[in-house]
Structure 1
Amino acid sequence: MSAQRRADDLASALARRGAGVAIVPTLAVQRHADEARLIEQTRRLLSSAPDVIVVTTGFGLRGWIETADASGLGEAIAALLAGTRVLARGPKAAGALQQVGVRAQWVAPSESSQEILAVLLDEGVTGRRIAVQLDGVGDPALVEGLRRAGATVVELPVYRCAEPADPRATGRAARELGDGRFDAVAFTSAPGADGWLNSLHDSGCVDRVRARVDDGSLLLAAVGPQTAEPLLAAAMPAVWPERSRLGSLVRLIVAELSRRAITVDTPAGLLRIFAQDAAVADTALGLSAGSLAVLRLLASRPGVVVDRETILGVLPGESSDPHSAEAAVWRLRSSLPDPEIIATVARHGYRLEAGPTS
């Protein structure tokens, strides 16, 4: 996960479905980065109400209201929102408005600031006063586009995106992605996706990761189309749910990983193999790297005998002793719900039994 905001919520939802999750924020979010200016701008709005308020993120709206409330302005901001035309940049921003009892008059379906700009320019903004709750990178295209068209823009800086707190962790995660140690990366913001791409370039892993994305062994899942834009611009195919919600993103990740996993029907149930582990009948096996490598090899040719020399070729290290292959198969069998899933074929090797129990 490249997220910092709501990372625990997303991680918990995936963990409840059996996933192992690593949270590696590719950017840091600095709240209250310019609180004095935010309060000053808020007081300006309260003394002279704008024609339109644009809410770009749910996180930003909640931060604005919390900051205003700490200065004794919370109720006044709620009343201002209720009495002003409000546009929301996507369902998450609209949902945050609903939580404070405000219904957005228009919601950008693709979470794009360009959509909001197009709607406002079509209406005409000359001489109008428009308040924009800025996202973490400032949304310069929206702000400058409105100003060029003749609007007066009041900027509301609630938070700021910055470099990750632990660059070494992002670099390590980038290398592990290239090594095939993760099945998916989840993104909840476009700046986070940009930061992730930068971490790949900085670590020299972009080509290896791109190869995994292209061959389908690494899933890139974004919460919405705007979040996916940096990935698509970098020729990294990504998927996103129809509704830009964390719950929808979780369900999409689960469905996509199940579809992409190496699967074999065995007498003990459906075997699924992922980057770091495998499961039989939806029960995780907790395999070591060596056991997983052997299982992946056998599952790549179910029902076919694989000799000991071939098994030795996928094990860590450089052993040429056939007994090492036998020991690896023994360890793998000890982790399976039914050891007979792997059959021994005397003087030839081992075979993964395919097909349900008769």
Structure 2
Amino acid sequence: MKQALDGLTILIPESRELDLFATMLEAEGATALRCPLVQILDLEDTAEAGAWIDQLIAGAFQDVVWLTGEGLRRLLPIAEKAGHRAAFVAALGKVRTITRGPKPARALRELGLSAQLPAATPTSQGVLDALAGEDIAGRPIGVQLYPGDGGLPLVASLRARGAHIFPVTPYRYASETDTAQVTGMIGALIAGEIGMIAFTSSPQVERLVAVAKSAGLETQLRDACARIDIASIGPVVEETLLRHGIKATLRPDTSFHLKPLVRAIVAAWSAR
């Protein structure tokens, strides 16, 4: 029986939900190629994250901004190891939680909590827009960042408005994972052997471009991406792609999760 994604070979970068995403695509008939672009690891030194948890428990913050669900999940075992898991969760329930998108909101729900101020647009600018009508001068705000400089403009903007910002980065990337395999996937893209790429996070984009650049294949990669469909899970990833001269051709309209992304992929492939 013919399936919606028959004939599609799709590259899906590594993520926490890699197997789930691959299974969903394969159930629709696609051939999913897993590519280990970014591996998320625990911190080697948790002292700073532990100190941030202690500050939260002590009531030092009025708000906490969550940029990723992974960030909250990685803080939990650090709190638990220190014997503070229950106090950490209780403290989270006492501050206003501000979320950039659905993933941190889902991580909060796993703890029986909810986002008090979800950004209407799941971007750092969306967080700034959510706070635009408030006087935050002098306000102590905890901000969960992710590795790299993606969240730093948000921190700079909040500080420029007078807020006291307490950042924490609760995990790290092992970005040198399987470079040879990534280079091979880039070669397959250039050769026209892959019909689509589906990105679910900005670091995946950054890593793919970095490997291509180091191999002298950046221009060829950009040309290959212009010939195929590029799926993005949401506007944050879309903005990252555009910074590297790559245009996303499809993404979910409003709900930036895996299921809507798969539906968008099916719709785009079926329309060919």
Q: TM-score interval w.r.t. the shorter chain?
A: 0.7 to 0.9
Between 1:231-240 and 1:114-123, the stretch displaced more is: 114-123
Counterpart among 226, 232, 237 of residue 247 in structure 2: 237
Unaligned 5+ segments in structure 2 are 1-11
Higher RCO (C-alpha under 8 Å, 6+ residues apart) = 2
Report deviation, 1:164. 2.9
Within 2, Cα distance between the matches of 1:123 and 1:59? 28
Q: Which residue does the alignment assign to 2:171?
A: 159
Kindly report which structure 2 residues correspond to 1:221-300, keeping only aligned pairs within 5 A, or say none: 221-238=231-248, 239-242=250-253, 243-260=255-272
Secondary structure of the structure 2 residue equivalent to 1:21: strand
Q: Which residue does the alignment assign to 1:112?
A: 123
Q: Which residue does the alignment assign to 1:9?
A: 20
Within 1, Cα distance between the matches of 2:244 and 2:56? 39
Relative distance call for 1:255 and 1:34 in structure 2 (3 A) is farther
Within 2, Cα distance between the matches of 1:186 and 1:3? 10
Report deviation, 1:121. 4.9
- The count of residues paired between Structure 1 and Structure 2 equals 258
Secondary structure of the structure 2 residue equivalent to 1:237: coil
> Deviations 1:207-243 (Å, cap 9, x if unpaired)?
344334334xx21111111012121223322121121
Report deviation, 1:245. 0.3
Secondary structure of the structure 1 residue equivalent to 2:34: coil
TM-score (norm 1): 0.67
Q: Which residue does the alignment assign to 2:144?
A: 133
Contact 1:58–1:94 (CA<8 Å) still a contact in 2?
yes
Rg larger in structure: 1
Q: Which residue does the alignment assign to 1:185?
A: 197
TM-score (norm 2): 0.87
Within 2, Cα distance between the matches of 1:53 and 1:104? 10
Which amino acid letter does the alignment assign opposite residue 258 of structure 1? S
Between 1:225-234 and 1:178-187, the stretch displaced more is: 225-234
> Deviations 1:85-130 (Å, cap 9, x if unpaired)?
1100112211221221112122123321122134335412211110
Q: Which residue does the alignment assign to 2:229?
A: 219
Within 2, Cα distance between the matches of 1:69 and 1:104? 22
Q: Which residue does the alignment assign to 2:8?
A: none
Which amino acid letter does the alignment assign opposite residue 140 of structure 2? R
Q: Which residue does the alignment assign to 1:92?
A: 103
Within 1, Cα distance between the matches of 2:163 and 2:66? 17
1:25 aligns with 2:36: yes
Report deviation, 1:189. 0.8
User: Identity percentage over the alignment?
Assistant: 31
